[in-house]
Amino acid sequence: MIAVIQRVSESSVKVKGEIIGQIDHGLLVLLGIEDADTTEDIDWLSKKIVNLRIFPDENMVMNKSLLDAGGDILLISQFTLHASTKKGNRPSYIKAAKPDFAIPMYEKFITALESDLGKQVQTGEFGADMKVSLVNDGPVTIVIDSKNKV
């Protein structure tokens, strides 16, 4: 699993012109799922995201986690995170999981995040044409690949 994590002061996602997910202070998480992903990847990445110390403390040092800061999560599925650009100019998405595998994994990831965060996670719509808006706070953007956890 690959996650692009952005600390935001606000973020929302629209499908067909209607806002279906929205947060204020927290994290926008773009999630790419591949066939090699497991429930171990879900558990590890979920805990990593909610405990990542990227929010400022009283001295403006990035020392607080999302849990400490009381923020929310907007989770968006994004298969293009697994794009291979090694050959030619047209990205290949062969590593990205197909919907029959990716959707259940995405749903399990939502459940894991909600359990680790202790509240509901806002989401986009899997496979939909989404319009994502955000105000990146910092800016702070971090990329985590669960295959590089060692």
Q: Which residues are catalytic?
A: 80
Q: Confirm if 133 and 12 have CB atoms less than 8 A apart.
A: yes
Tokens 């002061």 belong to 9
Q: Confirm if 30 and 143 have CB atoms less than 8 A apart.
A: no
DSSP 117: H
